[in-house]
Amino acid sequence: MRETFEDLPHADRTPRLRVITGFLSLLAALTLAIALGAQIIDLVRREQFSALEFVSYFSTQFAFISFVGLLLTGLAGFSGRRDTKKVASVRSFLALNALAVLITHTTLLSPTPVNATVATLAWPDLVLHLIIPGYLVVDWVFNPLRARIPRWVPFVSSLYPPVWIIGAITVGQVTGWYVNPRLDLANAASPALVAIYIGVITVTLGMMALAVLIVNRIHYRLVPANLFES
Half-sphere exposure of 132 (CA within 13 A, CB side): 33
Helix 58-76 vs helix 160-175: crossing angle, to nearest 10: 140
What pLDDT score does 189 carry?
A: 67
Confidence tier at 107 by pLDDT (50, 70, 90): low
Confidence tier at 118 by pLDDT (50, 70, 90): very low
CA distance 182 to 194: 8
pLDDT tens digits, one per residue of 120-176: 578 999 999 999 999 999 999 999 888 899 999 999 999 999 899 889 888 888 888
Confidence tier at 186 by pLDDT (50, 70, 90): confident
Q: Show Cβ contacts of residue 189 under 8 Å, excluding neighbours closer than 6 positions.
A: none
CA distance 189 to 165: 18
Q: State the pTM of this model.
A: 0.85
Q: Contact, 74 vs 22, CB < 8 A?
A: yes
Q: Contact, 108 vs 182, CB < 8 A?
A: yes
